[in-house]
Amino acid sequence: MSRVINPNAPGTERNRLKRGVALSLRELIREPEPNAKTRDLAAFIALSLDAIVKTVDTTVAAWEKRDYWLKADRFRRDWEWAERLGAEMRTAVLAGDWAGVAQAAVQIAQKLSDVKVSEHHRMGAPWVGAWMRLQDLTLE
C-alpha cells in the first residue's frame, strides 16, 4: 500500500493563512481611513490568527504523542505571538480602536516579514465578510 497524503495538513493550512494575513496587512496599510473594508481586513486578520493557533495545537499534539516534548514546546513558544496579537486585534476591532488595530498590525507585520505574496496572487479577497463572521462569533 502507498502512503495517504493529506493535502490539508496543519502546516499547509498555516502557510495559507500566513499569506492571507500578509495580503490583508498590505491592503490595510493602503487604506487611508477606517471604513467597511478596513473592518473586514482587521477582522480577517484576527480570525486568521485564531485559526493559526489551532493549527499549532494540532501540530504540537502529534509531536507530543511521539514524546517530542522539547520540539513541541519550542514550536509552541515560536507561535505564542499569534494568540496574543490575535486577541489584541480582536478586541481593538470590536471596540473600534483604530490606533490599537494599527499597533497590532505593525507587530503582526514584523512577525510575518518573511512572508512574500506576489501582486498577481490567486487568493482573491479572503477578508470579504470577515467582520460579520467575527460579530457572529462574539454573539455566540
Q: State residue 118's pLDDT score.
A: 73
Q: State residue 140's pLDDT score.
A: 66
* Domains in the chain: boundaries: 10-135
Q: State residue 110's pLDDT score.
A: 92
Q: Which three cell numbers stand for residue 124?
A: 482573491
Q: To which residue does cell 505564542 refer?
A: 80
User: Could you list the pLDDT tens digit for every one of the 140 residues in the chain?
Assistant: 677 767 778 888 888 899 899 999 988 888 888 888 899 999 999 999 999 999 998 899 888 999 889 999 999 999 999 999 999 999 999 998 999 999 999 999 999 888 887 776 777 777 888 888 888 887 76
Q: Pick left, alpha or beta for residue 96 (phi over 0 → left; psi -120 to 50 → alpha; otherwise beta).
A: left
d(Cα 20, Cα 123) in Å, to the nearest integer? 8
d(Cα 127, Cα 140) in Å, to the nearest integer? 21
d(Cα 112, Cα 44) in Å, to the nearest integer? 15
Q: State residue 134's pLDDT score.
A: 87
Report which secondary-structure segment, H or E, holds 16.
helix 10-30
User: Following DSSP, what letter does each residue of 80-130 receive, concatenated?
Assistant: HHHHHHHHHHHHHHHHT-HHHHHHHHHHHHHHTTT----TT-S---TTTTH
